[in-house]
Structure 1
Amino acid sequence: MKINHFGPLGINPYKNQMNKVAATERSTKADKVEISSAAKELLEASPITVARQEKVEALKKQVQSGTYKVDSEAVAKSVYDFYFKK
């Protein structure tokens, strides 16, 4: 015995779910951050920023040349202090 056309034809049971996903993708807005020109001036004038940039550049050079070494004891101590000392 053969049963043909059982149930509704041409209906996609996942269509509603796909429509919901498509609607949320269209309605999502991207986050946007704007930094004022005054804040940028303060950041550039800060002596800490200059010292930090120099430190970052030195670390970049060490990493690129392969001479950067991680002090595992200092890292472990720092992690320990963070979680267990208050």
Structure 2
Amino acid sequence: MRIHEPNRTGMIQAYNKTGTASVSKKGKMAMGKDEVKISTEAMEMLKQIEDPNAPARREKVEQLRKQVQEGTYHVPSEKIADKFLSFWKKW
């Protein structure tokens, strides 16, 4: 039994046309522009960040750096679990 597909060649031609890029009159390819959009959540996070030169922040960073280098830095597993749960509950 033979099945006749009249639109088969039309579909192949449409597929082949999708790979071609548009070329302007000068012979150069038209390029899109890059664009960056910052979400409102990210903007709020930026506002909450303290000035990195603040003395309290510098002291805290140095203390954490020292703990990490000495191997004494420890995060309670309950805190990690709470963060995971709060993240997954959003979805």
Give TM-score scaled by structure 1 length: 0.38
Higher helix share: 1
